[in-house]
Each structure stands twice: as C-alpha cells, then as structure tokens.
Structure 1
Amino acid sequence: MLDNNALVAAATPVFLLMIGLEAWLSHRRRLDAYTLADSVTSMSCGIWTVTLEVFTKSAMLLAYGWVFAHLSIWQSAPGSAWTWAWSFIAFDFVYYWAHRWSHEINFLWAVHSPHHQSEEFNLTTALRQGAFQDVFHAPLFMTLALLGCPPGVFIIQLTLSKFYQFWIHTRLVGRVPLIEGILNTPSAHRVHHAVNEVYLDRNYAATLMLWDRLFGTYIEEGEQCVYGVRKGAPGWNAVWAQFAWPAVMWHDALRTARWRDKLSLWFRHTGWRPADVAVADPWPPFVLPSGRLYTATRASTRGPRWTAAALSAFIAAVVLQNRLITHAAALALAPKLALVGAVTAALLLAAYCLQAVAPSGASAPARTPAG
C-alpha cells in the first residue's frame, strides 16, 4: 500500500510553492488576501493535523482493512480501472454527506469548524484542517470497505480528493469556463466558506458538484463573500482551534439541568442550545462584519521581535513534523510520541507569540462564543 505520509511529504513543497506564488500575485494585484498571523495559524492547523494523523489515520486504515477483509460484499481488484472509476464516484458521494453532516450536526461541526475559522480565503486556508475530522468520518468511510473498495485505493482516493481541494481555496481565480457548476471550483468553494446568510449550508462537494445539484445545496457566487465562522474563533492558537467548539458545547452541557439535553445537544443541529441555558446566557444575534475581527498580535503592540519568535517556532514545528512523517514507518512509539509533543509545543509557542496581549475590539471573539 502506498504510504499516505509519503504522499503528504511529497506534496508539501508544491503546496508551499503555490502559497508563495499566490501571496506574490495577491501583492501585485493589491489584493489584501494574506496576513502573517492568519497564514501561520492556518498552516499550523495543517501541521498539527498531519502530526496526529500518524496515529489516527493509521488506526482508521487498520479498521478499514479489517472491514474490507471480513465484511465486504465483494472485493474489487485494486489494479482494475473499473475499481478506480466506481470508487471515485462512491467516495465523492460519501464525502458529500460526511461534509454536509459536519455542518449540520454539533459534534461533527466540532471537528470540522477549524477549517472555517480563518477570516481570509487563500491557499493556506486549505491546510487549515480539523485534526480529528477523518476519525469521526471513519464510520461513513467504512461503507466503501463494505462495498469492496480496497484499502490502498481508498487512501489514495481520500488523499487525492484533499489535494484537488487545495487549489479551490483562492480569491485570485474567478469563474472557470466549461467546468463551473460541474466540478468544484474556487468560485463555488468561496460560497461554501462564506458566512453571508444567502450562502449558508451550500456547496459541500469535494470534486463533483453533481451531489449539490441533486440534493438542492448548490448556489452560484453572487454578493461578495465574508469569511470565517458565526460564533467567534480562537484567535491564533492552532491547537486550541481544534477544541473551541467542543468547549462551547461542554460548557452548555454542564449548565443545563436536564440530563436529556446534556446528552442530546452533541447530536442536535449545529448551534442548538438547551432552552434553560439559552435563556440564562443568550448569544447576541449575528451581524455580518464589515472587516476582520482578528487583527491584533503581540507584534503589533510589542514590536517585531515577537513576529520573529513566532516564525522561528513555526519553522521548528515544520522541521520536526517533516521528520516525523518522513520516518514514521521506521520510528518506535516513544520517538514518535516525543516528536508529536515537540511539534505541539512549538505550535503553542508560535501561538503565544502571535496572540494579542489582551482582548481588544479587533482581537476579541466579537462574533459571540468561540467556535
């Protein structure tokens, strides 16, 4: 089986080159598409996700392999063109529903929301992933194992689908002739990331827009998109980003009086709150912001040495993570855990250097609770 870590390691230089090119073109076109703190945080989310996936994705693939070997209806040949064709369609269909439910169900939004927290929309946003998302989607992916998609084919379909979705996170590309409305494009995906009322819960596709059209969730880009999430964001901390929405739900679960609500809120529609908690601590209504809410950093208040420190910590995390995923197959458990800890510590240090000294009108989670 082709090592997923090897695919990620091979693609990383290409991603970084494309990010650099987009940043340069954005500057040339005077498009304010990049801020240092946001870009570092987005890439840090990706780094932590891939770091943890050395364990989580391995466990998911072991489970997938067992289901394929013992419970599959039949087993397609991995070398058959037909296997790749039907599994591509099936994977894209399963991804649509996994993605859609990740916006509609509280506990699934908890693991998907980090991807939407950025107030920018650029290629670094594509790397801003939920570290536990694929684990929570695993039960849906198991349907592919039941249908007979070989494990090696599945992991390549999953990885290539994510690679395809990298290029659609940009504001530099307008509508794409011939494929617009057929394949996922930057225009279609800008809609998906927008918090404008008209764009909510739209365009869930991975590659094919067929499912959005079939199930009534497709919409074309019209009014200017405003990006982010409707209930705040965890500033510049890529690690806390993974736990921000679960923390909101946990807080509500502790405060509600009914045990039924303590349990059911995790499976309710995204944003649902127990009635007693909503009355005691109401959230203010969402107002579409005219500009970014998160702008302040230590660098803006205490000087550029904090930016230099953040970049140094981020580079250290990149180097450590690269060593981990490059040598994951050969490393023993203890060195793996040590590298995971070192990457996490470096990312937390970078976040500390970027985070504003104190909340302000520009840096506080003005969109109500973090999430």
Structure 2
Amino acid sequence: MSEVVISIEENIGLMIYIIIGFSVVLAIVEFFYELYKKKINKWRLGEMWASFSVFIVAQLMEKTSTLIFAGAFLLVGEFIPWQIPLNAWTTVLCLVLVDFIYYWEHVIEHKVRILWSYHSIHHSSPIYNYTTAMRVSFIDSLITWVFYLPLILIGFHPYIVLLCFFLVLMYQFWLHTEIIGKLGWFELVFMTPSQHRVHHGSDKMYLDKNFGALFSVWDRMFGTFQEEKHTPTYGLTKPIRTINPIKVHLIEYMNIFKDLRKSENLKEAWNYLVKHPGWTPKN
C-alpha cells in the first residue's frame, strides 16, 4: 500500500500540470470565441483582469495555504492507528465523500456570513467566463481544510483525500463558461456549466441553488436544485463596482466591520458574524 501512496504522491504534480494545461487551453478557446461573438469590450476586459489579478494575489499566499492544508492532514494522519485499505473502490468512495462534504461546506459558506466574507469574492464578478473561476480568496484554503479532516479521522490516507479534493476542485473550472449549453442526461448526475451558471446568478429564483461541485445529485436530494430557465444576472445582489483586487478581497470584511461598529450588544455583533448574509436585528 505504501508503494501505491508513493506513486500517487509522485504523480500529483504531473496531474496538476496536465489539468492546468487543459484549463489554459479551454480559457484560450473561450476568449477567441468571445472575440468572434464580439462580446469583448473594455468593461469586460476590466472584469476579466480583476478576476485574474485577484488570482495573482491569492497565489502570493499559495505556499502558506498549501502547507496548512496538506500539513494538517499529514499531521493528523500520523496519529490515526487505523487505515482504510487503498484500492480503486475506496478511492472512488473517497471522491464521493469529498464531493459530499464540499456540498455542505459550500452551503455553510452561503449561510454563515463570516465564511461568506471570503467566498463572496468568487461570486462578485458580473460576468461569467473562465477568468471568473480564478476569482478566489487567499483565505479560502486557510479555513476549508477543517471540513475534510473527518475523512482522515475515519482512516483515509491524507494523500488520497488531497488527490480527491484537488480533482473535485479542478473539475469546477470547466463549469465557468457560457459557451457550453445544457448536456441532457449528463446533468442528472454531474454538475454542468448550465447548472453552475445558476449558482452564480443573483436573480431571486437562482439564489442559493446548485451548490454541488462534481455531482448534481446532492442538490436534487436536499432541495437546492434549480434548472437554468434564463440567462442569469451574474454577481452579488449588491454589486461591488470595483476591479481593484485589494478592494475585491476586502470589501465584505469592511462591510462586516461597519455592521459590528453599529451593534448595540455582543449578541447582535455575534449574529452579524454567524447569521446569513444580509441579516439585521429586524429580520
């Protein structure tokens, strides 16, 4: 089993380069398609640059977040005396469980404001293409690893959990496009661009829908599924109206700080942090 783990560890880097290369090709094809459709203009280029520059800021923290994410898994794994046998079936099981946990992590990030504060960055783009997938917070990886620790505790090897998490994360890249339409029966099981476009919509019927990453079945099971009925209005319900990467990262924290300052007591301040985004003492 150790030889299999070593093999996986050695090939994770290769898989990362292959997937990144494939993602770059998709982004280039999409860009030229948008040029062909005359969708590229100064405003759209500005929003695309905003997403890319946010990605650059996030990459400055990449080594720290990776160290915390992987380091925590490996450290906890050292103290677990039992281990689930490693084979094709348990790897598939781990992948399904990672995706299941991701679904609930994603739901919680939309329901708890202090977590929404970093996740809202990904939703702040008023356009939807492959650059939108890059608009992620550097804080994300510093926190989200906690959700997946139970998989280490029940005996999955840390490298398998990391591999499955990475695959689920990378799957989502191709979902961020408008050039791929509905995919028929495939959508009954797997998440698709059409379904994820709904998730990025700020329209009332689309809010807090389609949280899945790899599988769409979780949304169908737990009542959060919504079919794409019309082209969504992308972005937040209250647009941030900035392409400055620092402001994109910090604007929700600034909003939280303003709300905390006007809190009349500790309970109210606490509710501003843990209640749903938009909560006020009146609702």
Q: CA deviation at 1:258?
A: 0.9
User: Map of 1:162-311 to 2, 5 A cutoff?
Assistant: 162-233=169-240, 235-275=242-282
Residue 29 of structure 1 corresponds to which residue in structure 2?
37
Q: CA deviation at 1:12?
A: 3.7
User: Map of 1:115-130 to 2, 5 A cutoff?
Assistant: 115-130=122-137
Cα distance in 2 between the residues matched to 1:138 and 1:274: 32
Residue 20 of structure 1 corresponds to which residue in structure 2?
28
Query: Is the CA contact 1:60–1:138 (under 8 Å) kept in the aligned structure 2?
Result: yes
Residue 4 of structure 2 corresponds to which residue in structure 1?
none
Runs ≥4 in structure 1, deviation > 6 angstroms? Answer: 3-6
Change (3 A) 1:8 1:236: farther
Cα distance in 1 between the residues matched to 2:91 and 2:69: 20
Q: CA deviation at 1:231?
A: 2.1
Structure 1: give runs of 5+ residues left out of the alignment. 279-371
Cα distance in 2 between the residues matched to 1:136 and 1:158: 14
Cα distance in 2 between the residues matched to 1:183 and 1:31: 29
Query: Is the CA contact 1:192–1:199 (under 8 Å) kept in the aligned structure 2?
Result: yes
Match of 2:119 among 112, 127, 136: 112
Change (3 A) 1:32 1:198: farther
Cα distance in 1 between the residues matched to 2:21 and 2:241: 28
Cα distance in 2 between the residues matched to 1:132 and 1:4: 23
Aligned letter for 1:27?
Answer: L
Match status 1:59 vs 2:68? yes
Match status 1:42 vs 2:55? no
Larger Rg: 1
Cα distance in 1 between the residues matched to 2:39 and 2:249: 29
Match of 1:102 among 91, 98, 109: 109
Q: How many residues align?
A: 274
Match of 2:151 among 144, 147, 151: 144
TM-score, normalization by structure 1: 0.69
Aligned letter for 1:211?
Answer: W
Aligned letter for 1:35?
Answer: R
Once the two structures are superposed, what CA deviation does each residue of 1:256-308 show, in whole Å capped at 9, x if it has no partner? 12122122321111221345xx9xxxxxxxxxxxxxxxxxxxxxxxxxxxxxx
Cα distance in 2 between the residues matched to 1:221 and 1:47: 31
Q: Identify the range of structure 1 (184-193 vs 260-269) with the bigger mean alpha-carbon deviation.
A: 260-269
> What secondary structure sits across from 1:253 in the alignment?
helix
Cα distance in 2 between the residues matched to 1:6 and 1:254: 49
Residue 360 of structure 1 corresponds to which residue in structure 2?
none
Cα distance in 1 between the residues matched to 2:248 and 2:150: 29
Residue 139 of structure 2 corresponds to which residue in structure 1?
132
Once the two structures are superposed, what CA deviation does each residue of 1:95-131 show, in whole Å capped at 9, x if it has no partner? 0000111111101101101111111000111111122
Query: Is the CA contact 1:76–1:148 (under 8 Å) kept in the aligned structure 2?
Result: yes
Q: CA deviation at 1:5?
A: 6.8
Once the two structures are superposed, what CA deviation does each residue of 1:62-119 show, in whole Å capped at 9, x if it has no partner? 11222222247x31244x1122111011001000000111111101101101111111
Cα distance in 1 between the residues matched to 2:247 and 2:74: 32
Query: Is the CA contact 1:234–1:241 (under 8 Å) kept in the aligned structure 2?
Result: no
Once the two structures are superposed, what CA deviation does each residue of 1:19-50 show, in whole Å capped at 9, x if it has no partner? 12101112223445982111111112222223
Q: CA deviation at 1:232?
A: 2.5
| Aligned Cα root-mean-square deviation (Å) | 2.2
> What secondary structure sits across from 2:184 in the alignment?
coil
Higher fraction of helix: 2
Cα distance in 2 between the residues matched to 1:265 and 1:2: 45
Structure 2: give runs of 5+ residues left out of the alignment. 1-8
